[in-house]
Amino acid sequence: MRDQEQPWRGPTFMKTIKIEVTFDELLLLTALTSDQLFRREFIDPKMPGYKGDRAELAMGKDLVVRLKSVAREASGSAFIAASRRAPSVHLSTNRNGLPDAV
């Protein structure tokens, strides 16, 4: 096996792929990606036998930054809420549909 080849991924080269998603799908994808990175960085290392990949984690963090940047551009605003998930059931919602405590 070559040094740059991983059996489950093939050769390590970058190919640009373009996809079309709605703004809400982009926000969801960003939130899910961010959550998964949190798990890989803070939860998975506590599991027996875990072997992390720092390069993959760094690439994921860069991707989240890029996704947030694209979402900001698409929204036309400088700020985007961290997530558009449904509010937790234990928090009451105000008239805007957002939880009182965020």
At 8, which amino acid appears? Answer: W
**How long, in residues, is the chain?**
102
- pLDDT number for residue 45: 95
Q: Any idea where the domains of the chain sit in the sequence? A: 23-81
| Distance between CA atoms of residues 78 and 71, nearest Å | 10
61 and 37 Cβ atoms separated by less than 8 Å: yes
- pLDDT number for residue 101: 52
34 and 27 Cβ atoms separated by less than 8 Å: no
pLDDT in tens, 26-73: 999 999 999 999 999 999 999 999 999 999 999 999 999 999 999 999
